[in-house]
Structure 1
């Protein structure tokens, strides 16, 4: 069976599996699906179009006031206006809306911190400053390449600011149901399975749902690490030579079934108590 691992390795395995989880203030883990490069490109294009339109409108509206300025002064005003709108407006909008913009709202995307929390002024400022080079000066080429090559489709501004974009619409994904290996079903039914630490069962569930898409070496390593954390809480040990993923599936399915059966029994007891209370002499209206 899986060998024991250090506490540092256990924390690393769990953090890898929870990379796409957002933990709310109520300690509820929500799966956050990173936005794809295509969605982010569309959102950035909409934002760029809105900013360019805003620059043109501001320059047209202020042109009567700028007629008395010489060419050098006019150039300074134009540069300051463009910089203010290209840098200042994204910073203000993303800070006030906690990671939204016109393009992101249209595409159902929000920028969040790496830990899933809302971004703040400094995150928006770093993203906007870096965006001048990677989006405007390179016409989006650097941002696109970075998004294609990086994990979570992050552009350079996201990497430096510690942020990434998540889907807020169409992000719900139903996980495939877990099925216990038939040859381990009898062992799991008779095994003593103690309660699992917070997040460990969720980490195992997420791992089994994503295992088929993982790198084979990372899949094997993480499977063994998770199995090594759960194995001390199960007695007796599984049959010798059991694959870590089969062990995880058997334990998690049996744990799920037991919790479901316990809830059914509790509901039956509550219904029986309600029926007894409704009888005479306690019944009302008899």
Structure 2
């Protein structure tokens, strides 16, 4: 279960994020609990052989410390190192973020981990009953640890349509884009730009311009080129991504042509038995033409390209 949630960034920009609700969070929690109990069981077996026989007080003390370290340390370490994801959240496609949409830090993960152990789930949480009740009463599905840490769990995976939206070259930017060094563009930044272009018309004009301009600045810094004067942020990002896609297609076509050329140049077959005449191989011919990439569609909201 999820719903759209409006979050405000530090730049006062409204973000539309898909909030993870009870069902997806419960699945991620169940996977994390399985991992935690597997760690506890393994460590308990090790302690059984390592602790001297008859010293039950030492064994219980070590077991108590181990339970606290695993139940609190596991989510804190994973969410800190992976910027908001545990193993269960990775499997389900969830991430913990701040209420302003930014990535969490160690203090956020520590507060969530301690509150989860003491209040939400184990010590006072009646095996998760408190977390379930608070999450159902919250519009964003937040538990006590989220309220104390100022965090929110969102769905990280974008819809399939957003990842495969068609990107076309804005008219007038073909020559400018052909001179760019696109090897310096990080994949993560390209993916963020593609997701923005897939839905920027759904955002408010203020949010669309602010988010687009921020992404355009990051892409321009990565490529070492500023946004051309008079070019909207969406057109700048579309030109960069369309040129990147066209170059990928060109390399794929060249590889296809080389493979077809190699297949066409077949050597004559060897004689199947001694004394038999070799069978002539197929006559080499020109390689077949590579498939033509699909033509793009006209871009809405045309603008006057820079001179």
Q: How big is the shift at 1:204?
A: 10
In the alignment, what sits opposite 1:134?
A: 120
- The change in CA–CA distance for 1:126 and 1:45 in structure 2 (over 3 A counts) is same
Contact 2:22 2:132 in 1 (8 A): yes
Identify which of 53, 56, 59 aligns with 1:71: 56
The correspondence of residues 40-119 of structure 1 with structure 2, limited to 5 A, is 40-68=25-53, 70-119=55-104
Higher relative contact order (CA 8 A, sep 6+): 1
Gaps (5+ residues) in structure 2?
163-202, 210-298
Q: How big is the shift at 1:21?
A: 5.8
Contact 2:5 2:18 in 1 (8 A): no
1:17-72 CA deviation, whole Å, 9 max, x = no partner?
98336689xx9975321112110111111111110111011111232111346111
Count of residues in correspondence between the two structures: 172
CA distance in structure 2 between the partners assigned to 1:34 and 1:203 by the alignment: 19
CA distance in structure 1 between the partners assigned to 2:161 and 2:154 by the alignment: 13
Identify which of 201, 204, 209 aligns with 2:205: 201
Contact 1:109 1:165 in 2 (8 A): yes
Root mean square deviation, CA, Å: 3.2
Contact 1:112 1:164 in 2 (8 A): yes
The correspondence of residues 200-239 of structure 1 with structure 2, limited to 5 A, is 201-202=205-206
Secondary structure of the structure 2 residue equivalent to 1:92: helix
Secondary structure of the structure 1 residue equivalent to 2:152: strand
- The change in CA–CA distance for 1:200 and 1:163 in structure 2 (over 3 A counts) is same
Gaps (5+ residues) in structure 1?
1-16, 175-198, 206-258, 274-286
CA distance in structure 2 between the partners assigned to 1:20 and 1:28 by the alignment: 8
CA distance in structure 2 between the partners assigned to 1:119 and 1:160 by the alignment: 13
Q: Which has the higher helix share?
A: 1
